[in-house]
Amino acid sequence: MSPFLKTLENEVQLICLAFLALVYILRLAWIFRFRSARDRGLAEGSGFRGAGYSLGSVAMPWAMESIRRRPFFYIQFVFFHLGVVAAIAATFIIPYAPGLFEKRFIVRGFQIVIGAAFASGVLRLVRRLSNRTLRSISRPDDYASLALMIAFFLAGTLAIPNHPEKGEAALIAFFGLTAFFLVYVPFSKICHYLYYPFTRYFLGLTLGRRGVWPPARGRRGSASSADGTAAGRPS
Amino acid sequence: MSRTTAPRSRQVIDLPLDVRTQEKAITEKARCVEDGRLATYRPDGRNVERFLALLSRRMNRQLAVSFTGCVHCGLCADACHYSLAFPDDPQMAPVAKADRIRKIFKRHIDWTGRIAPWWVGARRPVDDEDLNELKNVVFGLCSGCRRCTLNCPMGVDTAGLIRFARGLLTELGIVPEGIFNVSRDQWDTGNQMGVSEEDYLETLAWMRDEVRAELGTDTVDIPVDKEGCDFLYVINPREIKFDPRSIGQAAKIFHLAGESWTMPRWGWDNTNFGLFSGDDALGAFVAANAYDAATRLKAKRIVISECGHGFRSTRWEGYGWAGRDQDVPSESVVVTLFRWLEEGRLRVDPGRNPLPVTFHDSCNIARSGGITEEPRRVLARVCADFREMTPNRTENYCCTGGGGLLSMAEYRPVRLEAAAVKARQLEATGAKLVCTMCHNCIDGLTDVIKHYGLDMKVVQILELVDAALVL
């Protein structure tokens, strides 16, 4: 392994990671700088249960009509984000636990997941370019973030066998992109995962207190059928 | 030769700012205008500056994360009846509407937009024309139904952002005439239809006499300002002006249920245009009128008549606007009816409502208020043929008249075109009656039924319970 790749896999990553952490802390401080609003009416339900339901909705594709109607979109979402997790894991495994990638089935597993994420990314880019509404709302950041993720997944798929002796290009591309991401992410839409817990928590807290979430079926002594017909009707 | 047609959203976005009613209010020295509670438009070239100052001052954590959390996935477009009715018009998508205020937030408050505005589409408004466009989008192309919010994978409260933008514009007098007029009435008379105290009391007395004649007893009353009752009943001014029967029906049912109740002389309006205009001060004023009435009259709880936004404002939002914690319990009259039916206090015969009935969930009651089952349970007891519409409960489509749109005539043509989604949903039920627990929805649905020539009539729950009563 060349000294350049070694430095890129280690010191450069750590410096960039520290930068990411610093900007995240600043970002969180920025969010908490704003005053928080709250519902002051007497609760009908549990805010925390609502928040839990809201945060868990990512794993409940049946809970949201928009997702129910687009199962393929959800599958893409799952692969895309599993790919993110796998690729990030690989950036730690390669420098700190390279032995793991000596097992062929683990390498193949990572390549399949990240490869599927790559395919999902390409499909998402096609969707963004071909859908008129999406085109009209898309900014350079939307395209760049997606294109960078696609490149990251491709580099990850190629780099994961971790054979620098056979050529370092894929590894340099993968870790180069990782370093760039760590610096760029806090300023891009990719940062949405930092906001996600907040948006979902706040919405869930409000709707939970109001008894909207979790869905009300069967609550307050009612036992309506799924389609709401004939529930409790006197015989 | 092909003819290009401008997107339908342009017919709304390009509408000019009309301030004639504001000028009239100034001429007439309207009290709320004189004392500055209701803002009027000032063409002094400083509105953008004021807008940005308000944006910073009013920002809160929930809004900030909703502004920053959107990933432009576009799934909200599938949830919005405007977007579904005009699929080829990208400006109808909730995200596109929210982006009109989001880009200002990004340029003015968010660091990415301040560092590289072109990269994230951040942009400040340039002049009053830009603000007027924003007004037309947030008031004219959104009924605030919150369907997009509940369908956003990120949990972005797009409807909340729209209301926030409405509030900023209201404070600059850059509002549709209807919003200004109704706000003026509610500020100056305490109710949104400008009903005088004399008219209010006369109508209650008239309804009391009607019920007495129907039941053949003088023991029935519609008490006003009676202390220490089981509950205080607050209503929609539409009931006084256009549908007093609903007050009579309520009085009859309350009498039969045997609970003591009263209506307040002041603070009887449960509706709240502050919810629609985004004016939290108006929201606080109106809601506090009802809360104070309950305290003053030592009522054990507040019962809110069948009104969607009135319920949401009085039951939930009003306490936040007024900055006070809830001390007197409150509930929808439908929940009250449900309990009485469960307790056997009312005897009903579903055979007296033989026509097929479907139920329309009001957005403010289901999606923002948490009541979906009680109305169904009541209808199951009082109707012989209940049919669910699809989708329903928190997934139901708006009546298309929400968000104060019924008071904004200039947006009506596009609103009714967007209502095609609702019309198809109603028609598919095959019902002859569509029941709703919202006065606003009555007018919204009646508009849709008339426009699309559907063979249906809109009714309310009180009406059906009244019809099913076994005396």
Cβ distance of A202 and B155 shorter than 8 Å: yes
Distance, in Å, from the CA atom of B189 to the CA atom of B171, rounded to the nearest integer, reads 20
Cβ distance of B120 and A35 shorter than 8 Å: no
What pLDDT score was predicted for residue A1? Answer: 84
Which value does ipTM take for this structure? 0.96
Chain B neighbors of A132, CB-CB under 8 A: 88, 90
**Residue of A133, A219, A233 lying closest to B373 (CB–CB):** A219
Pairing of strands B261-262, B231-234: parallel
At B360, phi and psi to the nearest 5?
Answer: -105, 115
Does the pLDDT at position A219 exceed 90? no
Q: Please state whether the peptide bond connecting residue B87 to the residue before it is cis, i.e. omega within 30 degrees of 0.
A: no
A residues 94-133 lying closer than 8 A (beta carbon) to B: 131-133
Chain B neighbors of A71, CB-CB under 8 A: none
CA-to-CA dists, residue B210 to A150, A190, B206, B258, B471, angstroms: 73, 65, 6, 19, 16
Chain B neighbors of A34, CB-CB under 8 A: 59-61, 63-64
Q: Does A225 touch chain B (CB under 8 A)?
A: no
Task: Give the chain B residue nearest A209 (alpha carbons).
Answer: B370
Q: Per the confidence metrics, is the pTM higher than 0.90?
A: yes
Does the pLDDT at position A227 exceed 70? no
Tell me the nearest-neighbour CA distance from B208 into chain A, angstroms.
32
**Residue of B74, B112, B393 lying closest to A131 (CB–CB):** B74
**Cα dihedral B214→B463→B261→B365 (10° resolution):** -170
Distance, in Å, from the CA atom of A220 to the CA atom of B69, rounded to the nearest integer, reads 34
Banded pLDDT at A230 (limits 50, 70, 90): very low
List pLDDT tens digits, range B148-162: 999 999 999 999 999
Chain A neighbors of B95, CB-CB under 8 A: 133, 137
Task: Give the chain B residue nearest A51 (alpha carbons).
Answer: B155
Cβ distance of A230 and B386 shorter than 8 Å: yes
Q: Which helix (H) or strand (E) holds B302?
A: strand B302-304
Distance, in Å, from the CA atom of B242 to the CA atom of B247, rounded to the nearest integer, reads 11
List pLDDT tens digits, range B379-428: 999 999 999 999 999 999 999 999 999 999 999 999 999 999 999 999 99
Residue B240's contacts (CB-CB under 8 Å, 6 or more residues apart) are B193, B195, B199, B200, B203, B247
Chain B neighbors of A137, CB-CB under 8 A: 72, 74, 90, 93, 95-96, 99
Chain A neighbors of B395, CB-CB under 8 A: 65
Q: What is the CA radius of gyration of chain A?
A: 22
Cβ distance of A199 and B391 shorter than 8 Å: no
What pLDDT score was predicted for residue B1? Answer: 46
Identify the sign of the CA torsion A162, A168, A169, A174.
positive
Banded pLDDT at B6 (limits 50, 70, 90): confident
**Residue of A40, A133, A234 lying closest to B93 (CB–CB):** A133
Q: What are B168's two structure tokens?
A: 């900023």
**Residue of A137, A141, A216 lying closest to B74 (CB–CB):** A137
Do residues B349 and A202 touch, judged by C-beta distance below 8 A?
no
Cβ distance of B369 and A222 shorter than 8 Å: no
Residue among A210, A202, A219 nearest B367 (CA) = A210
Instruction: Give the mean model confidence (pLDDT) for residues A73-78.
Output: 97
Instruction: Give the mean model confidence (pLDDT) for residues B452-457.
Output: 98
Cβ distance of B376 and A222 shorter than 8 Å: yes
Q: Does A49 touch chain B (CB under 8 A)?
A: no
At A73, phi and psi to the nearest 5?
Answer: -65, -40
- CB atoms under 10 Å from CB of A127, counted, come to 16
What pLDDT score was predicted for residue A229? Answer: 33
Chain A neighbors of B70, CB-CB under 8 A: 192
Tell me the nearest-neighbour CA distance from B172 into chain A, angstroms.
23
Tell me which amino acid residue B380 is. Answer: A
What pLDDT score was predicted for residue B455? Answer: 98
Does the pLDDT at position B2 exceed 90? no
List pLDDT tens digits, range B308-356: 999 999 999 999 999 999 999 999 999 999 999 999 999 999 999 999 9
Chain A neighbors of B330, CB-CB under 8 A: 41
**Residue of A41, A191, A212 lying closest to B326 (CB–CB):** A41
A residues 173-192 lying closer than 8 A (beta carbon) to B: 187-189, 191-192
Tell me the nearest-neighbour CA distance from B281 into chain A, angstroms.
15
- CB atoms under 10 Å from CB of A113, counted, come to 23
CA triple B70-B74-B78, angle to 5 deg: 130
What pLDDT score was predicted for residue A225? Answer: 35
List pLDDT tens digits, range B46-99: 999 999 999 999 999 999 999 999 999 999 999 999 999 999 999 999 999 999
DSSP string over B206-249:
HHHHHHHHHHT-S-----BS-TT-SEEEEB-HHHHHT-THHHHH
pLDDT, averaged across chain B: 97
Q: Does A90 touch chain B (CB under 8 A)?
A: no
CA A42 to chain centre: 35
How many CA atoms within 13 Å lie on the side-chain side of A233? Answer: 17
What pLDDT score was predicted for residue A216? Answer: 66
Tell which of B67, B73, B396 to mutate to test the A interface (max A CBs under 10 Å).
B73
Instruction: Give the mean model confidence (pLDDT) for residues A211-215.
Output: 95
Does the pLDDT at position A235 exceed 60? no
Tell me the nearest-neighbour CA distance from B382 into chain A, angstroms.
9
Cβ distance of B325 and A40 shorter than 8 Å: yes
Do residues B359 and B435 touch, judged by C-beta distance below 8 A?
yes
- % of chain A beyond a pLDDT of 70: 91
Chain B neighbors of A224, CB-CB under 8 A: 373, 376-377, 380
Position of tokens 């000028």?
B23
Tell me the nearest-neighbour CA distance from A119 into chain B, angstroms.
17
At B266, phi and psi to the nearest 5?
Answer: -130, 135
Cβ distance of B155 and A203 shorter than 8 Å: yes
Tell me the nearest-neighbour CA distance from B228 into chain A, angstroms.
21
Cβ distance of B78 and A140 shorter than 8 Å: no
